[in-house]
């Protein structure tokens, strides 16, 4: 009986050079910020606006809330908070339910 052994065959394939990964070209973008904007109206008092802002917006001080209430009254609107979308949606909803007149959320 004869034994047949096959020798492994090496096949050379032409390949295009592979470019090194370009880690330096990776651009990291921050999440977009959303703005919570309160509009002026004829029925909410300054005190109510201040109370709502200090109740629903984290770290809002009474002094800052009064400044914003004045800005809302004098300029017609004020950005009361800006940040991630989920939080902006929550604050927008809470202020709206409390009776404040709100602009639609907008991306900064």
User: Residue 75: CA atoms inside 13 Å, Cβ hemisphere, count?
Assistant: 11
Sorted by where each begins, the domain ranges of the chain are: 29-107
pLDDT at 92: 98
Q: Express as a percent the part of the chain with pLDDT over 90.
A: 69
Instruction: For residue 71, give the DSSP letter.
Output: H
| CATH number of the domain located at residue range(s) 29-107 in this protein | 3.30.1390.10
Average pLDDT, the chain: 87
User: Along the 108 residues of the chain, how does pLDDT read in single tens digits?
Assistant: 455 555 555 555 556 665 556 656 788 888 889 999 999 999 999 999 999 999 999 999 999 999 999 999 999 999 999 999 999 999 999 999 999 999 999 998
């Amino acid at each position: 009986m004869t034994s047949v052994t096959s020798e492994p065959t090496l096949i050379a394939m032409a390949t295009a050079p592979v470019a090194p990964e370009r880690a330096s070209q990776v651009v990291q973008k921050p999440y977009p910020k959303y703005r919570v904007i309160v509009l002026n109206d004829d029925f909410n008092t300054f005190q109510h606006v201040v109370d709502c802002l200090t109740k629903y917006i984290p770290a809002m001080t009474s002094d800052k809330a009064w400044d914003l209430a004045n800005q809302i009254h004098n300029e017609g609107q004020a950005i009361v908070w800006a940040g991630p979308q989920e939080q902006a949606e929550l604050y927008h909803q809470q202020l709206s339910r409390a009776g404040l007149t709100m602009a639609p959320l907008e991306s900064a």
